[in-house]
Amino acid sequence: MLGTLNRRLLEFIAASPSPFHTVDTVSALLEQDGFMRLCAAAPWQLQPGGRYYFTVNDSSLIALHLPEGTPTGFTMSAAHSDSPTFKLKEHPQSSAAAGAYVQLQTERYGGMLMGSWLDRPLGVAGRVLVEKGGRVISRLVHLDQDLAVIPSVAIHMNRSVNDGYAYNAAVDTLPLYGMGADAPSLLALAAEHAGVDEKEILGHDLFLTCRSHGTVAGSDASLLLSPRLDDLSCAFGCLEGFLNADSSTAITVYGLFDNEETGSESKQGAASTLLRDTLRRAAFSLGMDEEGYQRLLANSFLVSADNAHAKHPNHPELADPHNAPVLNGGIVLKYNANQRYTTDGVSAALMRTICRMAEVPVQVYANRSDMVGGSTLGSIANTHVPVRTVDIGLAQLAMHSAYETMGSADLPYLVDAMTTLYSKALCMDQEGGLSWV
Ligand code: ZN
């Protein structure tokens, strides 16, 4: 049994094969719910009770729901729109004589498990930039067909491959796209999909996509398998909570950031001033000054939502035995003493009270102390927006594989927790006590 939320998550993932598509998918859901698109280049005249969103680079998005009265703070979440994959180079394919292989020319985007991309049908998705009537505009492209494959070398030609293999992105992972001169130009296919002429394409950002469909698996239907669970399961779960929540006295903020997989350092990444600039612009548009903005920050809370490593069934020794989450065990609070994750005693306590109200189980994650783990949005965003922040996620296996695994029971926990969070506002009293109101 797939369940309504899991089914909708898999539809969301299928509709979001690139960060540009993720933002487009989220934009459509926001507009269905009455959110109005803001233009970065036009004045913002936000109204109490208003719902707004805007996008940057068509790959990051921030949505704001304003309270009817004077806002007391910001209640926020941040997830990421991108996933590790291969990006097509500007000249995306080799030319070939009759009978020869035609290969796509790619480079790695993010830190994927390279072997997981081999021997699967692959598609292509992203955007093309075209000139129309003197304007440069972006068109989404999703070549949703079995276009290419990265073939393994046969075991007979590399008998030691199962002892470990170092993949070379310039050699081992170039996709086979066709045979000889009959293979059509990839950009011609993209142009046809976008309804333009190939000659009109002035630029492109195109990525390989894993075309395997998501599914529920396991003898007891306890597993959910899909591409891009990191981080689209959190992007979707936080959005559900954001849209389902009752109104609060805080400005509720939904953030979706690109380029997390490459370190967030881009104009649309969490390391940019995007979140800070947006919050300030919203506060000033409501007639506040710098002092008012700083007071909002004092009563603000950010949930950085990105998946966590579940204890591996074949390799439990890779997990900290006392701080390892399991699939279907509820929300994971993620900890790191060196601030790769932002969770501290205060933010953990605040998130635990939310989960208690939502009747959602909580588990924890910390790396083995002799291993260096990943990092994510929260600590990076905090350098510009210093608010209490917790790092959470859903437990998953095979993070950064082309096809990942999580528990089928966990998404409802995230939605319930985020719905409760977004219905609340943080309030700090004169003695420093914190409460959700
Ligand atoms: Zn992630």
Give the tens place of pLDDT for each residue, 236-284.
999 999 999 999 999 999 999 999 988 888 888 888 899 999 999 999 9
Mean pLDDT for the stretch of residues 404-421: 98
Identity of residue 316:
P
How far, in Å, is the centroid of ligand 1 from the Cα of 8? 20
Tell me the backbone φ, ψ of residue 415, rounded to 5 degrees.
-65, -45
Contact 394, 307 (CB under 8 A): yes
* Amino acid 122: pLDDT: 98
How far, in Å, is the centroid of ligand 1 from the Cα of 44? 31
Tell me the backbone φ, ψ of residue 157, rounded to 5 degrees.
-105, -5
Residues in the chain: 437
pLDDT tens for 142-192 read 999 999 999 999 999 999 999 999 999 999 999 999 998 888 899 999 999
Contact 225, 214 (CB under 8 A): yes
Structure tokens at 414: 């995230």
How far, in Å, is the centroid of ligand 1 from the Cα of 230? 5
Structure tokens at 117: 């991309």
The rounded distance, in Å, linking the Cα atoms of 336 and 176 is 41
Residues whose Cβ atom is located within 5 A of ion ligand 1: 230-231, 306
How far, in Å, is the centroid of ligand 1 from the Cα of 376? 7
> In this model, does residue 197 exceed pLDDT 70?
yes
The chain-wide mean pLDDT, for the chain, equals 95
How far, in Å, is the centroid of ligand 1 from the Cα of 95? 36
Question: Per-residue confidence at 1, pLDDT binned at 50, 70, 90?
Answer: low
> In this model, does residue 76 exceed pLDDT 90?
yes
Q: Could you tell me whether strands 331-335 and 215-217 are parallel, antiparallel, or unpaired per DSSP bridges?
A: unpaired
pTM, rounded to two decimals: 0.96
Identity of residue 389:
T
pLDDT tens for 338-392 read 888 899 999 999 999 999 999 999 999 999 999 887 777 877 778 888 899 999 9
How far, in Å, is the centroid of ligand 1 from the Cα of 83? 7
How far, in Å, is the centroid of ligand 1 from the Cα of 307? 6
How far, in Å, is the centroid of ligand 1 from the Cα of 419? 21
How far, in Å, is the centroid of ligand 1 from the Cα of 93? 29
How far, in Å, is the centroid of ligand 1 from the Cα of 277? 23
Mean pLDDT for the stretch of residues 85-113: 92
* Amino acid 214: pLDDT: 96
Percent of the chain with pLDDT over 70: 100
* Amino acid 380: pLDDT: 76
